[in-house]
Chain A
Amino acid sequence: MIEIKNLHKSYHMGKNSLHVLKGINFTVAEGEMVSIMGSSGSGKSTLLNILGILDEADDGTYTLDGTLIKNLNEKVAARYRNKFLGFIFQSFNLINYKSALDNVSMPLYYQGVKRNIRTEKAMHYLEKVGLADWASHLPSELSGGQKQRVAIARALASDPKVLLADEPTGALDTKTSYEVMELIQGINDEGKTILIVTHEEDIAHMTKRIVNLKDGLIIDDSLVNQVRAKTEAYV
């Protein structure tokens, strides 16, 4: 599903150049649930941004679902993001003046899906994350965990190949974190490929494979026994 070879990325700040990724090689097969770990500055967020076509590598190749991602213009990049990827952010990044339902249906709007179908689909995903009753609420009326679940529903709405989560539990307490992870595990169980960037050990161990980054290089890449998040009723 994801194949990257010899990926390099540097940031230039004035005269200083910061070599963040120094030759990353790694592949993710369909249906995998991988966590990318590393201390801050290890390059994990940069890697995720490149994977998410939000940023472009200086060197190396990135193939997503058989499509080479290189030198894309904004238009094509936007289309690929919409088609291939679903994003989950640490700070949720919901549009605060739109209801939960409208937030979830937004990727479908950009796909050109008709309104009634869009609403139907968005409602389906909201049900899936257990927030059907909150469809008409604004993000400001939801708790952190609920917001993240709306964000997950939004990420799923366009039926992407890969879900990319950047510290999805970073802003949540442990209990809520586990609930969100349980939801993500459920999605993975249905066959969706998921990449999670995290620096929390317990969250990482809820995935099936941990990739450890340090100073722009992969120092460890190993499969782990997945710890299931506790099954509890949704709040």
Chain B
Amino acid sequence: MFNIERWQEIFEAIRKNKLRTFLTGLSVASGIFILVILLAIGEGMQNGVAKQFEKDATNRISVWTNVTSVEYKGLNPGRIIEMDNRDYEMAVNKNSDKLEYKSGVYSRWGQLTTYKKENGSYRVEGVRGDYQFLENATLVAGRYINQGDLNNFEKITVIGNQVYLDLFKGENAIGEYVDISGIKFKVVGIYTDPGGEREETRLFIPLTTAQRVFNAGNKLRSLAFTLIKHDNYKDALAASEAFSAELESDLKAAHTISPTDDRAVNVNNTLEKAKKFYDLNNMIRWFFWGVGICTIIAGVVGVSNIMLIIVKERTKEIGIRKAIGAQPWSIIGMILHESIFVTAVAGFVGLMFSMLLLQLVGPFIETEYIRNPSVDFSVAITTVIILVVAGAVAGFFPAYRAANIKPIEALRDE
């Protein structure tokens, strides 16, 4: 390995056979390039999916209702099911020891909102104070809705960052009044949401106020909960699934809905959904590894093939070397060494190119499901190990063949 003579031999052989070496290297380099890019895309998908679930609390359970689709106890299908505060209270009372954050929601779409001469149409949601955490929202300024606001039917609002930019153009907003559907609300806070613009074009007001100003009585559009955190993912998932199922059956019982009706009550379990995505993601990742490794195998076979040709081409030279005293292991070493060296260098080039591409282009890739594709250090190290092993494998058979060349036959070979 550290024999300088051997290195000189290799460099000499490579220098005399530039094209051959280049072609050999190209297949390996592209193999590694493809592997790294695939792995990076896998990582990017992981990031993308993670981002998708970042917009709300990852263990959020949302409930909303729809029309019934199944006839039940003499009631026709097509009945509109609406939840109200009693449903919320029932769920909270029954599970008070399990719930971390909880809120009923009463929301209205497309509410004309005006500040001075600026206006826009936004979704207005009446929520409880916990909703900040259910939405995974962070306050940029001011405060969120609190229990006092709910108790006193305060006309206050927490506006999304995008709403703030639209209406206030960067001016101070806290303490100012906006007009929502003709009613003045005092802005007490501005929030930002990892879900992005779509999640930031909303205004939150106290739930009680919403029910009152929209004349909704005690109706709720949806419920949102998170469960107290568990130590491990498996427990969390199991608890979350059990809670979802129980809540669904309770609501169905309360509203006289057939247990087989899968449209009337929707319980959306983020964790469960996330698990599906992560499972899918993992599968995709393994698939990418598989494809990448196959590409490298193709490269290795190519290198092996070329090394065989090299051995054939150098049969006479090997014969001469043997005639003047080369030991078989020195021939094996020579071929193997060259093979590993070429594979490793070419692989590094492929690795560098793919890394460079990822560095330059990666941060700009922000589609819904792929975000910042990149590879981490351990993946790079793994590919390097793969390279050396691949080089050794690629060189082994040709080297073995070279070692078995009989000098007399090699010398006769013209």
Residues of A within 8 A of B (CB): 49, 52, 54-55, 74-75, 78-79, 81-83, 87, 89, 91, 93-95, 97-98, 106-107, 109-111, 115, 154, 158
Contact = CB atoms under 8 A, between A and B. Distances in A.
B283 interface: no
Given A95-B317, A97-B16, A110-B330, A154 B407 contact: no
Nearest to A97: B16
- For this complex, into which size category does the number of interface residues on chain B fall? 20 to 34
Nearest to A95: B317
A95 B334 CA distance: 15
Contacts, number: 62
B333 to A, nearest CB: 12
Contacts of A89: 411
Given A49-B408, A81-B325, 11 more contacts: A54-B406, A55-B408, A78-B322, A78-B328, A81-B323, A87-B323, A91-B414, A93-B316, A94-B320, A97-B13, A107-B324
B316 A78 contact: no
B324 A54 contact: no
Given A49-B408, A115-B5, A158 B325 contact: yes
Contact of A78 (B5, B13, B16, B326): B326
Contacts of B322: 78, 81
Contacts of A52: 323
A78 B320 contact: no
> In terms of DSSP, what is the predominant structure of the interface of chain B?
helix
A106 B411 contact: no
Contacts of A78: 322, 325-328
A63 B340 CA distance: 42
A109 B5 contact: yes
B97 interface: no
Contacts of A81: 322-325
B184 interface: no
B16 A106 contact: no
Given A95-B317, A95-B320, A54 B327 contact: no
Contacts of A55: 408
B12 A82 contact: no
B321 interface: yes
B325 A111 contact: yes
Contacts of A154: 324
B408 to A, nearest CB: 4
Contacts of A94: 320
A84 to B, nearest CB: 10
A106 to B, nearest CB: 6
Contact of A54 (B317, B321, B323, B329): B323
12 contacts: A54-B407, A78-B322, A81-B322, A89-B411, A93-B319, A95-B317, A97-B13, A106-B321, A110-B324, A110-B326, A110-B327, A111-B325
Contacts of A79: 325, 327
Contacts of A110: 321, 324-327, 330
Nearest to A50: B408
Given A95-B320, A98-B12, A54 B326 contact: no
A115 B6 CA distance: 12
Contacts of A115: 4-5
A81 B324 CA distance: 6
B209 to A, nearest CB: 88
Nearest to A83: B325
A109 B330 CA distance: 11
Given A78-B325, A95-B320, A107-B324, A54 B411 contact: yes
The winner among A49, A93, A158 for most chain B CB atoms within 10 A is A93
A233 B329 CA distance: 43
B165 to A, nearest CB: 70
B60 to A, nearest CB: 70
Contacts of A98: 12
A82 B411 contact: no
Given A110-B330, A115-B5, A82 B408 contact: no
A25 to B, nearest CB: 23
Contacts of A49: 408
Contacts of B323: 52, 54, 81, 87, 93
A79 B325 CA distance: 6
Contacts of B330: 110
A110 B13 CA distance: 17
B317 to A, nearest CB: 5
B325 A93 contact: no
A158 B325 CA distance: 10
A105 B326 CA distance: 13
A109 B322 CA distance: 12
A95 B406 CA distance: 17
B203 to A, nearest CB: 79
Nearest to A54: B408
Interface string B205-245: 00000000000000000000000000000000000000000
Nearest to A86: B324
A49 B411 CA distance: 11
Contacts of A111: 325
A15 B329 CA distance: 34
A90 to B, nearest CB: 10
A158 B327 contact: no
A74 B5 contact: no
Contacts of A109: 5
A110 B329 CA distance: 11
Closest 8 CB pairs of A and B: A82-B325, A97-B16, A110-B325, A54-B408, A107-B324, A74-B328, A93-B320, A78-B327
Contact of A75 (B13, B324, B328, B414): B328
